[in-house]
Amino acid sequence: MNKLKVVVTRRWPSEVETQLKALYDVQLNESDVPLNADQLKHALQTADAVLTTVTDAITADVLNVDNKRAKIIGQFGVGYNNIDIQAAKAQRLIVTNTPHVLTDCTADIAMLLLLMSARRASEGERLVRNGQWTGWSPTQLLGQKVTGKTLGLIGFGRIAQAMAKKAHHGFDMKILFYVPSSTPEQHIIDDLQATRCDSVEDLLAQSDFVSLHCPGGAATKHLINEARLKLMRPTAHLINTARGDVVDSHALINALKSGWIAGAGLDVYENEPNLNPEFLSLNNVSLLPHLGSSTQETRIAMGNRVLANIGEFFAGHAPNDRVV
């Protein structure tokens, strides 16, 4: 019996690729260069499943290609704003993602960026690496204390709650959160002694640190803009491990240059990897290359989650992590 054909658009951990080879007629991306639109269309035409990542632009044009063979897109990641979900739905394509398994590691990165920004760690490392450090000084690189401060979370899903747990129980931080609709379970709020804010503006005005945990897409594009940045305290820091387009890059750069806020920690960017070059000249921003889920354990777990989803689909069952 012939094996089902699967196309994987990027390199995955070797442990997962080995499983894919055993189970399917798999086409791996040995070069790890993101596929272009024509290559993605060809994948949809020649494979039973296409396994994508956030770097793949799965547009309506790609999804509407004629003579599709694929019936399922298995996204390697919890976010899926790189996929035109409405077009996928119209084409009756199943789309799955990989929630749950990357929660803690992404929350760890958010906490890392918060600490880096507050304590000016990026500046300090550059000073040492560039041979410019002349020794300890009472006024050198004075940052801000983290313990006991107020953390505001925009979005309060699994990753935000994991960060809040680390911040509250580890650093005795006061937790504020804003979500536009659903209310978290009361026992979670009680455990974190968290307070829900009525609006984004209310949260920004009260927080020493603001961390973004909302999905990307049209509804949240430039949620953090010039007007909202001006509501933040001049000693406050903005942390983004969500999606780059949630923040207006030009407005944030202006805020950092003008002193509207003290600093920022970013793991995601508009138009990544082509981030605005002005970020590179700023000392008061810590920059990471989208490391949120980048641990061996998490990336293997993400791959296994995709395997489970497509395995369920091919067995005639509904995948657990179906998006559409």
Whether the link from the prior residue into 273 is cis, omega within 30° of 0, is yes
The alpha carbon dihedral of 211, 223, 242, 263 has a sign of negative
Radius of gyration of the chain (CA): 21
Question: CA angle 124-129-135, nearest 5°?
Answer: 60
Q: What Å distances lie between residue 232 and 27, 84, 142, 242, 254, CA to CA?
A: 49, 33, 20, 19, 13
290 is catalytic: yes
SS3 of 77, please? coil
Q: Which residue has the tokens 């006024």?
A: 139
Indicate which residue of 10, 120, 213, 243 is catalytic.
243
Task: Report the alpha-carbon distance of residue 219 to residue 232 in Å, rounded.
Answer: 22
**Largest Cα span, the chain:** 73
Q: Which residue blocks in the chain are alpha helix, DSSP H?
A: 14-23, 37-46, 60-63, 85-90, 103-118, 121-129, 158-171, 186-192, 200-206, 226-229, 249-258, 296-314
Q: How far apart are CA 291 and CA 209, in angstroms?
A: 20
CA 105 – CA 116 distance, rounded (Å): 16
Q: Which residue has the tokens 């968290």?
A: 194
Annotated catalytic residue within 196, 250, 290, 322: 290
DSSP 147: T
- Active-site entry in 17, 123, 272, 312: 272
**What is the C-alpha to C-alpha distance for residues 234 and 247, in angstroms, rounded to an integer?**
18
For residue 121 the two structure tokens come to 């760690």
Q: Which two tokens stand for residue 189?
A: 């709020």
Catalytic residues, by residue number, are 243, 272, 290
